[in-house]
Amino acid sequence: MPAYSYARSLDNSFKASWKLEEVLERTRFDRSLRWMPPALSGSAEAACLDEQGRRALTQVELASYAHLFGYVEAFIAPKVNVLAADFALCDLPAFEALSNFTAEEVKHMNLFRAVRERVDAALGFELELVGGAEETARFVLGKNTGAVLLLITAIEWMTQRHYLDCIRDDARLDPATRALFKAHWQEESQHAQLDHLETLRAFVGMQPAERERAVDDLIELVLAVDGLLLRQSELDLANLERCLARSFAPAEREQLFGALLKAKRWTFLLSGVTHPRFQELFAEVTTPAQRARVAKALEALERMPVLDC
Ligand SMILES: [Fe+2]
Ligand SMILES: [Fe+2]
């Protein structure tokens, strides 16, 4: 496993850092292009849509991607801020690296808010997006620190996969999307390494009973994230109907909702928890039985009936 360090992450962060205005300057969406790649979109399984409909679906999905990332960063930033305070007087490199991490997440929240506004302007209406960010942040921050850090680590690693595996080499995507994801990837790369260090720190002093509680809490957090994905998939479907100025028949709704939810579960849960760096960390802080419990919870999500047409 690579040896991460707070000081090196901070150095790399200063090298990769970008200004919000510079990224927003490049964020001008083109409605004739796709805004999300096939691997992060339900469009590939939306057989009932023509090419224009599939393109519109990716445009609606970019809004919810930006919204959901801003949503999770609303609990990541305060959590990392609290962790930074642990080092304030005793470990300057760790304090500086985690404080800088917090500041970058605040910048990303502003970036994603601006992106959502630009999507609304480009599509010509205010898209419906899942609410309750403050309650969700309170719920998450009330959970065991080890569990919260495992969730955050999975989220940060998934951003690496999204850009490197799905976007960097897709020349058919809107250049605005590619620039946006590239900027986020550049700064998230350091975050994932700092999450790794902080997760090890959280687990190192835990007794077996507390580790069990951390795994219980992690499963609750995964179910909570899935609840958000369910609600946003329903809203994406409503946004798509508005975007295309048409209503879907029940069979079409079922197909589209299934495609949207499957893509969101991959994008926001599975692409993170299956990342090799996350798996290495997870194996270091949990037992095989605990990992099996989490895997079972993830498998159960796939079998849930979801849409009331
Ligand atoms: Fe971020
Ligand atoms: Fe991050």
Indicate the angle between helix axes 208-244 and 288-302, nearest 10 degrees. 20
- Token pair listed for 40: 């992060």
Task: Say if 110 falls within a structural domain.
Answer: yes
Return the percentage of the chain with pLDDT > 70, whole number. 97
Residue-wise pLDDT for 279-292, tens only, equals: 999 999 999 999 99
Q: pLDDT tens digits, residue range 184-205?
A: 999 999 999 999 999 999 999 8
Ligand 2 midpoint to CA 93 (Å): 18
Nearest ligand to the CA of 155 is: 2
127, two tokens: 């898209």
Is residue 10 situated within a structural domain? yes
In the predicted model, is pLDDT for residue 24 greater than 80? yes
Task: Say how many Å lie between the CA of residue 13 and the centre of ligand 2.
Answer: 11
Question: What is the pTM assigned to this prediction?
Answer: 0.95
pLDDT level of residue 307 (50, 70, 90 thresholds):
very low
CATH of the domain at 58: 1.10.620.20
Q: Are 33 and 124 in contact (CB under 8 A)?
A: no
Number of domains in the chain: 1
Note the ligand closest to the C-alpha atom of 101. 2
Is residue 308, in this structure, part of any structural domain at all?
no
Range of the domain at 61: 6-302
Q: How far is the CA of 276 from the centre of ligand 2 (A)?
A: 18
Residue 194 has a pLDDT of: 98
Q: Where are the alpha helices (DSSP H) in 124-207?
A: 133-141, 145-161, 175-204
pLDDT of residue 309: 34
Say whether pLDDT at 308 is over 50. Answer: no
The CA 191 to ligand 2 mean position distance, Å, reads 5
Q: How far is the CA of 205 from the centre of ligand 2 (A)?
A: 25
In a domain, 253, yes or no: yes
Give residue 52's pLDDT.
97
- Residue 15 belongs to some domain of the structure: yes
**Predicted local distance difference test score (pLDDT) of residue 1:** 60
The rounded Å distance from CA 177 to ligand 1 centre is 15
| Residue 123: half-sphere exposure toward Cβ, Cα within 13 Å | 28
Ligand lying nearest the CA atom of residue 107: 1
Helix 208-244 × helix 133-141 angle, to 10°: 170
Split at pLDDT 50, 70, 90, the class of 91 is very high
261 within some domain:
yes
Please check whether residue 192 lies inside any domain of the structure. Answer: yes
The answer to the question of residue 1 being in a domain is: no
> Each residue of 33-67: pLDDT tens digit?
999 999 999 999 999 999 999 999 999 999 999 99
